[in-house]
């Protein structure tokens, strides 16, 4: 356990003050240590934040008063069921039934990088996870956020999620359509730890899978996703307002607006970048400026997608 650990190095924004306590349990004892921390935390009623790769958060300059539980060492994927097993084991509940058309299931621990999960599927010529290629962050973070890209949400391929629940028990939460929506998962209202997620996949052509993954990675690079530290899109982009949020912001001439070290990217109306030395205060001020301008000019209330930690 580390005390006063600066969180800037644990976020894709490279921003954030120190956490009182920071713990990253090693993989071989992950569940035991994580369960212990959750139990202690509940008994002592102290603040806890579960951290994946910090690619969707803005941490305050004052840091976090409480414990950060970093799950990024809890990695690995397995093929949980193949057609034969599936027929026997899952035939009754329909998980692998003819309706779903899914013949294989891949199970990934929550600290696995989303990109690595996609690579694992490719190694086994299984298709369905291609859209996760190049997506920053962990599987746990992607499930919690119900990450969405290239017209697909994580929930589109999910079959179940294993969690440590509020009482510290391992529980399998089967996928239910009504629990998920745009950037919404049932775990956002619960005090739980995601241990792993299982995905429905099919046998595919390795060459085609890898080509598709490469297209997504290149697309992200060409859109400047990795040119500067950021947390991806700042505002939700559910197109409720008829066009992409980035476009709405761009049309108000806001691209390139800068406060301190935080700048609204010159090439993307929904990306705030850290040009070097940006504080959380700079980013927050820029977010407020953008929200105010959009509200004033268009009467639209933008909703941040990134999460605010320690504010
Ligand atoms: C350049 C860039 C591009 C991006 N593009 C996209 C995109 O196309 N689509 C998209 O949806 N997002 C995108 N994002 C945002 C981000 O990558 C995703 O939301 C990602 O899935 C977050 O994963 P993470 O591990 O970094 O989560 P974190 O940021 O660490 O955490 C996010 C939330 O998940 C919770 N959480 C994480 N792991 C667990 C766990 N094991 N158990 C319980 N709770 C957990 C955290 O407590 C927190 O509330 C982008 C980000 C960047 C920097």
pLDDT tens string 180-225: 999 999 999 999 999 999 999 999 999 999 999 999 999 999 999 9
Fold of 227-309: 3.90.78
Does the beta carbon of 34 sit less than 6 angstroms from any atom of ligand 1? no
On average, the pLDDT of the chain sits at 93
**Domain residue spans of the chain:** 2-70, 77-221, 227-309
Q: For residue 29, what are the CA distances in angstroms to 23, 111, 112, 146?
A: 13, 14, 16, 27
Q: Taking each helix axis from N to C terminus, what angle separates 114-123 and 206-222, rounded to the nearest 10 degrees?
A: 160
pLDDT digits (tens, 9 = 90+) for 3-43: 999 999 999 999 999 999 999 999 999 999 999 999 999 99
Does the beta carbon of 209 sit less than 6 angstroms from any atom of ligand 1? no
Output the pLDDT for position 85. 55
Neighbours of 281 (CB within 10 A): 15
pLDDT digits (tens, 9 = 90+) for 106-134: 999 999 999 999 999 999 999 999 999 99
Q: Which two tokens stand for residue 209?
A: 């899978």
CA distance 102 to 85: 13
- Supply the pTM of this predicted model: 0.94
To test the ligand 1 pocket, which listed residue (9, 52, 138) has its Cβ within 8 A of the most ligand atoms? Answer: 52
Q: Rounded to 5 degrees, what angle do the CA atoms 83, 31, 175 make?
A: 40
To test the ligand 1 pocket, which listed residue (58, 194, 232) has its Cβ within 8 A of the most ligand atoms? Answer: 232
Architecture in CATH of 2-70: 2-Layer Sandwich (3.30)
- Pairing verdict, β 18-23 and 64-70: parallel
Mean pLDDT value across residues 220-247: 91
H/E run at residue 79: strand 77-81
pLDDT digits (tens, 9 = 90+) for 128-177: 999 999 999 999 999 999 999 999 999 999 999 999 999 999 999 999 99
Contact 253, 275 (CB under 8 A): no
Q: Which residues share a beta bridge with 107?
A: 78, 198
**Nearest CA residue ID for atom 7, ligand 1:** 149
Pick among 3.30.465.10, 3.40.30.10, 3.10.450.40, 1.20.1370.20: CATH of 77-221: 3.30.465.10
Output the pLDDT for position 63. 98
Confidence of residue 102 (pLDDT cuts 50, 70, 90): low
CA distance 88 to 208: 30
Cα pseudo-dihedral 249, 254, 257, 262, rounded to 10: 0
């Amino acid at each position: 356990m580390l005390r006063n650990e600066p969180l800037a190095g644990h976020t894709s924004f490279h921003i954030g003050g120190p956490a009182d306590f920071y713990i990253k349990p090693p993989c071989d004892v992950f569940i035991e240590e994580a369960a212990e921390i959750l139990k202690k935390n509940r008994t002592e009623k102290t603040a806890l934040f579960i951290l994946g790769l910090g690619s969707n958060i803005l941490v305050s300059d004052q840091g976090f008063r409480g414990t950060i539980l970093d799950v990024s060492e809890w990695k690995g994927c397995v093929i949980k069921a193949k057609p034969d097993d599936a027929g026997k084991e899952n035939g009754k509940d329909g998980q692998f039934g003819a309706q779903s058309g899914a013949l294989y299931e891949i199970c990934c621990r929550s600290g696995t990088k989303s990109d690595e999960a996609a690579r694992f599927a490719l190694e086994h010529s299984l298709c369905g996870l291609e859209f996760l290629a190049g997506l920053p962050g962990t599987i746990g973070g992607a499930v919690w956020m119900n990450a969405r890209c290239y017209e697909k949400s994580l929930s589109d391929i999910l079959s179940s999620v294993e969690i440590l629940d509020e009482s510290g028990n391992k529980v399998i939460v089967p996928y239910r359509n009504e629990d998920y929506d745009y950037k919404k998962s049932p775990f956002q209202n619960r005090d739980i730890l995601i241990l792993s997620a299982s995905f429905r996949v099919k046998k595919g052509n390795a060459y085609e899978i890898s080509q598709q993954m490469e297209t997504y990675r290149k697309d992200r690079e060409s859109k400047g996703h990795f040119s500067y530290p950021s947390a991806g899109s700042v505002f939700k982009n559910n197109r409720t307002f008829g066009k992409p949020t980035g476009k709405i912001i761009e049309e108000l001439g806001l691209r390139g607006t800068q406060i301190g070290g935080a700048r609204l990217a010159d090439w993307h109306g929904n990306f705030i970048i850290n040009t070097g030395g940006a504080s959380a205060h700079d980013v927050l001020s820029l977010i407020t400026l953008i929200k105010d301008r959009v509200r004033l000019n268009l009467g639209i209330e933008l909703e941040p997608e990134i999460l605010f930690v320690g504010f």
